[in-house]
Structure 1
């Protein structure tokens, strides 16, 4: 194991953490979950399911069960991803396994069943030799990074900095609901209202909430998507912690939260983007980069689900690729249009099976956390 060193998403990959899908059995539908996935759960666009409330199908429980077949197939795909990375010479680390009988996580005024450390890009940001645990947005994921603690602890022993951003209390009133209640934001279309938040004696007002997957690392520059006051507060903390060594830029409401299914950097000077208008949202110094926009997703490239299957991501999730080097990219094998577009632009693609990315909220970039890449910090402007 080397010490942590990663400044972008494309330098040659040496070490990585691959998440675990084991014992992922359900989604806990409550306010923090619905706020986080609001754009996906309630939009009327063809990309999303036609849900109206958390209890549409099951009035006795807020727990949304996941079919065992999907969990087994997800586990197969994640393990194959880990094996492929190892075959490419990458050192692969894995989180601790979530026990099947884990107790509920308890906070001040709430409880939630924990989920495994699968989408590990979300709750950690790696910047240079720093491991930064970010303030979680979903209650069921509050302790998720503890499943990564043995890995982080070993990196700390080898010289990495290890910090944790302030942990939110996550009462109902911790969340800025303005984005969820704005029918004009991003993808558009009418949306169902989030339930009114309940008061709590532990209310602090809006708290810092931010996922690592909202951050795009470009050497000395870090671009962060901000969609609400929770994000803005967290960005202020990161600025105080990282500047002036790094320059923090913000883009406003590129998405509801994560940036890595809207925009990824493939190498210096080249982005993979969901649509061409993203360029206009970027800081001026990065508008001169090339923006590769793949064809619209083919609906036939996804499994067909039933009305009681909770779909958490749009069909654009397959933009969530993972770069092994500035020339080589792991891509979902079902995305023929994306593969052809990348190859047309000079990239070598490595097709990988990942079937149920829409049910579990993540692609290859989400399921992984690169900890060591060759290279040093640079200014790409």
Structure 2
């Protein structure tokens, strides 16, 4: 049990000193399954054929990814961060995806952990199978609240009517028939959460999240220009209070300035194009994943070892990049922010 000076769950920002995280596992991960229109809306075209039932990622890639995760865990522990790891699951036997990306499914807001209402049917059991033991342990503390996602009777209902619009306007890959959201579509800025509608997050999902977070917190939606939107943590990157880097291909400064929380912030468009990479393949992401870093505090940031140009860029703002190889984790769908759920950030 915790006491008032050592909470088990307390996080209101993305940058305050990190003290406790959940960190994923890559073993036994499979390519996620989803309807073809969802894959086309969210995944790189050259890899469409990989997204078929119970199709494992290459074994060597997963082994290398888990080695990278182990190195990342050591870095976190060396900086005084407590690390929780999930159960091992054979995702080919469950029709699931991975335990490597817990940020997609869990969002810490204050003393509350909210489980996502996944749009993708293959992810419906992900938290229960891999992370429930961690959540159960945390929930034994009376100060911690866990909001579990409702069970979905007909996941396929989210896709009904998609493609029937006649006006030519952009249409997301899901409808608004029931709440759907990925936790990775939202970031914390004190009492304000900034999120986006996307191919996995709808209006009812945003309403659900607003009702699930503690009293006093508000959820606001950022106007993004990315029709392939799925997770916001390669679109905007708050590095510390008052400083944010953004992806100019997905959002504008004008859109950011509409939010009161950003009106006095320094906002910087990342000035370089990400470098292409063929090996290991980016099966599920673009090069903009370089923005998907993890802040240990307002000075230290964990950056992928190959993203030297990005590391030099954030150095210009006074940051110390901690370089960690993570390209094989990148291959299965995310980077440092995706692979962690920050449970405690000191001083939030």
TM-score tier after normalising by the smaller chain length: 0.7 to 0.9
2:204 aligns with 233
Unpaired stretches in structure 2, ≥5 consecutive residues: none
Q: Give the Cα–Cα distance (whole angstroms) in 2 for the partners of residues 157 and 374 of structure 1.
A: 21
How big is the shift at 1:260? 0.5
Residue-by-residue CA offset, 1:272-326 (whole Å, 9 max, x unaligned): 2112843222233214422233321122xx3436xxx671101111100000001
Q: Give the Cα–Cα distance (whole angstroms) in 1 for the partners of residues 152 and 342 of structure 2.
A: 25
1:220 aligns with 2:186: no
Match of 1:296 among 273, 281, 289: 273
Match of 1:156 among 135, 139, 149: 139
8 Å Cα contact 1:321/1:363 also seen in 2: yes
Q: Give the Cα–Cα distance (whole angstroms) in 2 for the partners of residues 363 and 266 of structure 1.
A: 16
How big is the shift at 1:137? 2.0
2:105 aligns with 123
Unpaired stretches in structure 1, ≥5 consecutive residues: 42-47, 105-112, 187-192, 198-203, 377-381
1:21 aligns with 26
Please report the TM-score for the alignment, with normalisation by the length of structure 2: 0.85
Cα RMSD of the aligned pairs, angstroms, is: 3.1
How big is the shift at 1:185? 5.6
1:373 aligns with 2:348: no
Q: Give the Cα–Cα distance (whole angstroms) in 2 for the partners of residues 317 and 333 of structure 1.
A: 13
Please report the TM-score for the alignment, with normalisation by the length of structure 1: 0.78
2:77 aligns with 86
8 Å Cα contact 1:135/1:211 also seen in 2: yes
Counterparts of residues 232-381 of structure 1 (less than 5 Å)? 232-242=203-213, 245-255=216-226, 256-275=229-248, 277-282=251-256, 283-285=258-260, 286-294=262-270, 295-299=272-276, 302-304=277-279, 311-376=283-348
How big is the shift at 1:156? 1.2
8 Å Cα contact 2:119/2:158 also seen in 1: no
8 Å Cα contact 1:313/1:357 also seen in 2: no
8 Å Cα contact 2:118/2:200 also seen in 1: no
Alignment coverage as a number of residue pairs: 334
Residue-by-residue CA offset, 1:188-218 (whole Å, 9 max, x unaligned): xxxxx98xx9xxxxxx972211011111100
Moved over 6 A (4+): 178-184
How big is the shift at 1:127? 0.3
8 Å Cα contact 1:227/1:253 also seen in 2: no
1:38 aligns with 2:40: yes
Comparing 164-173 and 142-151, the one that deviates more:
164-173
Secondary structure of 2:61's partner? helix
